[in-house]
Amino acid sequence: MAIRVQREDFDVGAELAALTEGNHGIGGVTSFVGLVREMGGGPSAMTLEHYPGMTERQLAGIEDEARRRWPLQAVLIIHRYGRLEPGDRIVLVATASAHREAAFESCHFLIDWLKTRAPFWKLEENSEGSRWVEAKEDDDAAAARWVLRTAPEGGSS
């Protein structure tokens, strides 16, 4: 299955090996692994909340969109939820294609969309308590770039 939302950790090497196994049309795989990083000096952790049902539906829609835009041989999205500590893996996105450009670009596209559309929210903890992470405007700008770059229908240019 190409999309998984799970509490458990994942093994990047094993996932990438399984993704490409037996498919000799693949010329390259691009992968992105998101990690929990330490914030503001000192141990911290976070809890990722999601919307079961809608999350999977949104991820499937994003994958379909990537497959429409690039000739992809395989796509994998794994996103964790629950409590995670610095160094823990949060997300794995991998895309495979005959050619590297499609793999690089589609992986970048998927991550930008995940940040702005997939229903996940981060609650950060530190010694003083916990707070919900606010969305960043530059994440929106990163996602919007893909809309601008590929909006040929109805355009005048």
Partner 1 sequence: MKLLYFAWLRTKTGITQEEVAPPEHVRDVASLVEWLRTRGPQFADAFANAAVIRVAVNQEYARPDHPLRAGDEVALFPPVTGG
User: Binding residues for partner 1, per CB under 8 A?
Assistant: 34, 48-51, 53-54, 57-58, 79, 90-91, 111, 114-123, 132-135
Q: Between the CA of residue 6 and those of 3, 10, 35, 125, what are the distances in Å?
A: 10, 9, 15, 21
The nearest distance, CB 17 to partner 1, in angstroms, is: 24
Report the Cα 9 to chain-centroid distance in Å.
15
The nearest distance, CB 31 to partner 1, in angstroms, is: 14
Q: Which is nearer to partner 1, 25 or 49 (CB)?
A: 49
Q: Which is nearer to partner 1, 17 or 60 (CB)?
A: 60
133-155 burial code (b ≥16 CB/10 A, e <16): eeeeeeeeebbeebeeeeeeeee
The nearest distance, CB 126 to partner 1, in angstroms, is: 16
The nearest distance, CB 47 to partner 1, in angstroms, is: 10
Structure tokens at 37: 């990083």
Q: Which is nearer to partner 1, 39 or 123 (CB)?
A: 123
Q: Which is nearer to partner 1, 20 or 88 (CB)?
A: 88
Owner of token pair 């992809």: 72
The nearest distance, CB 130 to partner 1, in angstroms, is: 9
Residue 147: which residues within 8 A CB-CB, separation 6 or more? Answer: none
Q: Are 119 and 126 in contact (CB under 8 A)?
A: no
Q: Which is nearer to partner 1, 73 or 81 (CB)?
A: 81
